[in-house]
Every structure is written in C-alpha cells, then in structure tokens.
Amino acid sequence: MDRIVELKCGDRNVPLKNYVKETIINVVLGLVAPLKGVDTDEDIVVTIKKKGDGS
C-alpha cells in the first residue's frame, strides 16, 4: 500500500528522505494496527503540540 508522509513544523514543510518516510510509516502503522476499531487502510493523522497552547 502506498502512503504519503508529510511533516510540518509550525507552518514549514520539512523535506523527508525515502528512508525517513518509510520509517515513519512502519512505526505509526505498527503502533496503530493492534488498536481495536482502527482501520489502517484509512488516513492516519498524528498531531504533536506543545502543552499549554490551548489544546
């Protein structure tokens, strides 16, 4: 299955080499796949924010 990986820091897109993209895909899918009710064929969005930013 082909995946697109995008990394943004703030408003800036960060370019990723293929090795990094594949690593992110494999790690995230490995963590998400065993969770009940999760369909890994859908889009997966991970957001990491600093604490205290209103979220």
Confidence check: pLDDT of 8 > 90 = yes
pLDDT of residue 1: 63
**Mean pLDDT score of the chain, rounded to an integer?**
92
Q: What is the pTM of this model?
A: 0.81
pLDDT of residue 9: 94
d(CA 50, CA 39): 28
pLDDT in tens, 9-30: 999 999 999 999 999 999 999 9
Q: Decide if pLDDT at 54 tops 90.
A: no
Alpha helix (H) ranges present in 1-55?
A: 18-32
Residue 55 has pLDDT above 90, yes or no: no
